[in-house]
Amino acid sequence: MPNRDRILLRGAKLICPFSGLRGETLDILISGKRIAEIGEGIECAEVFALDLSGLYLSPGWLDMHVHLREPGREDEETLASGRLAALSGGFTAVCCMPNTDPPVDCAAVAEEIAARASEGTGADVFCVGAITVGRKGGRMVEMDRMRSSAGRVVAFSDDGCCVQDAGVMRRALEYARRFDGLIIDHCEDHALSSGGQVREGPCSFRLGLRGYPSMAEEVMVARDLLLAEHTGSRIHLAHLSSARSVEMLRAARERGVRVTAEVTPHHLFFTDEDVDGLDPRFKVNPPLGSREDREALRRALADGVIDAVATDHAPHSLEEKEVEFERAPFGMIGLESAFSACCTALLESGSLDVFALVERLTAGPARALGLDPRLYGEGIKKGARADLVAFDPEAERVVDADDFLSFSRNCPFDGMRLKGKVELTVKDGKLFFPPGSRLSGSIGEARMGRGRACGSVADIGCGAPGADADDV
Ligand SMILES: [Zn+2]
């Protein structure tokens, strides 16, 4: 009987931006929660061995922008379901946004989330606290108390809303500067976007819908780059969608402004032309942009001006989302389609190679957040936490939202044939096989079940696969 605590991952091509691995084929021995050894042809008795030849293996990915809906809308997502959906998509850590009910605007709520997110298996959860009380844009939260609480607060944002008052934003940046904190900026001038449904332009005219101009994002990008420059604070621009925003970001970085940025898989993949059918799953904030916007975003991600891919995973219930376009809420889920969307949009077109893509899913967001490597970012090395993902950027899959571990189904990629598959996620030394993984056969399909049942790591977890393999 193999040792239940030791797993040997054989023959994967390793990619690690933290330790500089670029495709070397090596074995990894996991003991308990940590990497015990890395090397060529590791021989080891009494161990559960898994053949990963043909696959890449990288540190588990970090999604710095997700909405997990707990507390308040546990019918749409919970911390537990969101953490499993993350693992299914290859992410071993996520940052959850504060627009819950109640919002994360005090230490107590952050602490409650951190406590609940530490139960059971799933991705690590870091909190993004609100900038203002109730995310109302007025009185500032007690950032200092929140960040020094047990709530694992790593940044501040009123995401979902944008702080409209420039004076409040300036004070927030100045306050955060005192402890070198990070403000994550959802850039939207609400007066300009008000009532907008899709990107203003040919698309909104054709569909006869109220337009949401890219200017609504751009004026806030301009304002907040100036404020960040003036205050010397760190700012991170969330879900950028416009070529003009990218231009300003690029110029600001050249001037030495301490600004980082993210882009979503859907803004890299789709354009406003895809909204043609009035399918509410394509309704998102900021709205999908033009082809020129998409090109600019891809280029900026490729040359590192945009640091991170982040999903903006935004679960919505069927009842609320599957209504006429104008009544539907903004947002789409993304954790379980992100990697395939990126491979198809970026690797196929030659915009990025697989090494750069992995960097934007790992070291890029970690750097933007300024995370302590003990929380995330030890990389693949001896003694590091065994948080890993094995994937095949060439493998094809038909996205089936019914297989998702998220509670919600509002995914515009549903039914699409895409390239790029996550085959295995390792979290704290436990193996997690996403639904449809070609590796799942190696531990016995029968024991794993399919679809949602597959989400239970406990069925599969640490060491158990060894025993299962003997059974089948
Ligand atoms: Zn946002």
Show me where the domains of the chain are located: 6-58+382-393+416-471, 60-369
Q: What pLDDT score does 450 carry? A: 34
> Average pLDDT for residues 402-407, to the nearest whole number?
96
Residue type, 227: L
Q: Tell me if 457 sits within 8 A of 405, measured CB to CB.
A: no
* Residue 472 pLDDT class (50, 70, 90 cuts): very low
The answer to whether residue 407 scores a pLDDT higher than 60 is yes
Q: Which residue has the tokens 């979290």?
A: 427
Distance (Å) from CA 67 to ligand 1 centroid? 10
The answer to whether residue 199 scores a pLDDT higher than 70 is yes
Residue type, 274: D
The answer to whether residue 322 scores a pLDDT higher than 70 is yes
The answer to whether residue 451 scores a pLDDT higher than 50 is no
The rounded mean pLDDT for the chain is 92
Q: Could you give the residue ranges of the DSSP H alpha helices within 179-271?
A: 190-193, 202-207, 215-231, 243-255, 265-269
The answer to whether residue 192 scores a pLDDT higher than 80 is yes
Rounded to an integer, what distance in angstroms lies between the CA atom of residue 173 and that of residue 167?
10
User: Active site includes 312?
Assistant: yes
* Residue 467 pLDDT class (50, 70, 90 cuts): very low
Closest CA to 24 of 35, 13, 16: 13
> Average pLDDT for residues 155-159, to the nearest whole number?
98
In angstroms, the Cα distances linking 358 to 27, 97, 157, 300, 366 are 19, 23, 25, 15, 12
> Average pLDDT for residues 231-255, to the nearest whole number?
98
> Average pLDDT for residues 85-97, to the nearest whole number?
98
* Residue 441 pLDDT class (50, 70, 90 cuts): confident
Which positions ≥6 away from 50 have C-beta within 8 Å?
7, 8, 9, 10, 424, 431, 439, 442, 465
Rounded to an integer, what distance in angstroms lies between the CA atom of residue 135 and that of residue 100?
10
CA atoms lying within 13 Å on the CB side of residue 436? 20
Q: Could you give the residue ranges of the DSSP H alpha helices within 1-160?
A: 79-88, 107-116, 143-147
Q: Tell me if 335 sits within 8 A of 88, measured CB to CB.
A: yes
Q: Which residue of the set 224, 312, 403, 468 is catalytic?
A: 312
Q: What pLDDT score does 237 carry? A: 98
153-156 and 48-51 beta bridge pairing: unpaired
Which positions ≥6 away from 193 have C-beta within 8 Å?
212, 213, 216, 285
Distance (Å) from CA 53 to ligand 1 centroid? 39
Distance (Å) from CA 352 to ligand 1 centroid? 25
Distance (Å) from CA 193 to ligand 1 centroid? 13
71 vs 448, which has greater pLDDT?
71
Q: What pLDDT score does 447 carry? A: 37
Q: Tell me if 449 sits within 8 A of 459, measured CB to CB.
A: yes
Distance (Å) from CA 186 to ligand 1 centroid? 5
* Residue 457 pLDDT class (50, 70, 90 cuts): very low
> Average pLDDT for residues 113-134, to the nearest whole number?
96
Q: What pLDDT score does 455 carry? A: 38
* Residue 151 pLDDT class (50, 70, 90 cuts): confident
Residue-wise pLDDT tens digits, 249-282 = 999 999 999 999 999 999 999 999 999 778 999 9
The answer to whether residue 464 scores a pLDDT higher than 50 is no
Q: Tell me if 399 sits within 8 A of 414, measured CB to CB.
A: yes
The answer to whether residue 462 scores a pLDDT higher than 70 is no
Closest CA to 156 of 123, 125, 132, 124: 132
Dihedrals phi, psi of 323, to nearest 5 degrees: -130, -175
Residue-wise pLDDT tens digits, 348-390 = 889 999 999 999 999 999 999 999 999 999 999 999 999 999 9
Q: Which class is 6-58+382-393+416-471 in CATH?
A: mainly beta
Distance (Å) from CA 159 to ligand 1 centroid? 4
> Average pLDDT for residues 113-128, to the nearest whole number?
96
Q: What pLDDT score does 443 carry? A: 63
In angstroms, the Cα distances linking 279 to 311, 328, 414, 416 are 20, 10, 12, 15
Portion of the chain with pLDDT greater than 70, in percent:
93
> Average pLDDT for residues 446-462, to the nearest whole number?
36
Distance (Å) from CA 460 to ligand 1 centroid? 35
Distance from chain centroid for Cα 443: 28
Taking domain 60-369, whether its CATH number is 3.40.50.720 is answered by: no
The answer to whether residue 445 scores a pLDDT higher than 80 is no
